[in-house]
A and B are shown apart, each in its own frame.
Chain A
Amino acid sequence: MGELRLMKGNEVIAIAAIRCGGDAYFGYPITPQSEVMETLMAERPWEDTGMVVLQAESEIASINMVYGAAGCGKRVMTSSSSPGISLMAEGISYMAGSELPCVIVNVQRGGPGLGTIQPSQADYNQATKGGGHGDYSLLVLAPASVQEMHDFVVLGFELAFKYRNPVMILADGVIGQLMEKVKLIDQRPRWTNEQIAEISGSWITVGKSKNRKKHVITSLEMDSSIMEGNNLRLQEKYNRMKAEEVRFEAIECDDAEYILVAFGSAARICQKTVQIARKKGVKVGLIRPITLFPFPEKIISEYATKVKGFLSVEFNAGQMVNDIRLAVNGKTRVEYFGRMGGIIPPPDEVEVALHQKLIKG
Chain B
Amino acid sequence: MSVLADRIKEIIKPENLVYAKSPVLNDDIMHYCPGCSHGVVHRLIAEVIDEMGIQDQTIGVSPVGCSVFAYKYIDIDWQEAAHGRAPAVATGIKRVLPDKYVFSYQGDGDLAAIGTAETFHAVNRGENIVMIFINNAIYGMTGGQMAPTTLVGQITSTTPYGRNVDLNGYPLKITELLAQLPGAAYVTRQSVQNPAAVRKAKKAIRKAFEVQALKKGTAFVEVVSTCSSGWKLNPVDSNKWMEENMFPQYPLGDLKDSSRADADLYRIKG
* Chains A and B in contact, CB within 8 Å: yes
Whole-angstrom distance between the Cβ of A192 and the nearest chain B Cβ: 13
Kindly identify which residue among A54, A66, A68, A208 contacts B61, using a CB–CB cutoff of 8 Å.
A68
Contacts of A66 in B (CB 8 A): 92
Chain A residues with CB under 8 A of B55: 207-208, 210
B75 touches A74 (CB 8 A): no
CB distance B85 to A91 under 8 Å? yes
- Residues of B31-53 at the interface with A, using a CB-CB cut-off of 8 Å, are none
Q: How far is the CA of A135 from the CA of B57 in the complex (A)?
A: 34
Query: Which one of B76-84, B105-113, B166-174, B209-217 contacts A?
Result: B76-84
Name A46's closest neighbour in chain B (CB-CB). Answer: B95
Q: Binding site of B, secondary structure by majority: helix, strand, loop or mixed?
A: helix
Interface size classification for chain B? 20 to 34
Q: Does B152 contact A (CB under 8 A)?
A: no
The answer on a CB contact under 8 Å between B88 and A216 is no
Chain B residues 49-65 with CB under 8 Å of chain A are 55-59, 61
Q: Are B80 and A64 in contact (CB under 8 A)?
A: no
By beta carbon, the residue of chain B nearest A94 is B82
A-B CB contacts (within 8 Å), total count: 129
- Which of A60, A69, A71, A216 has a CB less than 8 Å from the CB of B117? A60
Known contacts A60-B118, A206-B97: does B92 contact A67 (CB below 8 Å)? yes
- Mark B86-112 against chain A: 1 for CB-CB distance below 8 A, else 0: 001111111111001000000000000
Residues in A neighbouring B58, C-beta threshold 8 A: 207
CB closest chain-A residue, reference B64: A220
Q: Are A69 and B81 in contact (CB under 8 A)?
A: no
Would B85 and A60 count as touching, CB distance under 8 A?
yes
Cα of A218 to Cα of B69 in the assembled complex, Å: 10
> Are B92 and A69 within 8 A (Cβ)?
yes
Residues on A lying within 8 angstroms of B by beta carbon are: 23-24, 26, 52, 54, 56-58, 60-62, 64-72, 74, 76, 90-91, 94, 98, 204-210, 214-220
B contacts, CB < 8 Å to A? 55-59, 61, 68, 71, 75-82, 85, 88-97, 100, 117-118, 120-121
List 4 A-B pairs, minimum CB-CB distance, nearest first: A68-B92, A65-B92, A64-B88, A218-B80
List 9 A-B residue pairs with CB atoms under 8 Å apart, sorted by A's residue number.
A60-B118, A64-B82, A64-B92, A68-B91, A71-B92, A72-B97, A205-B93, A207-B58, A214-B77
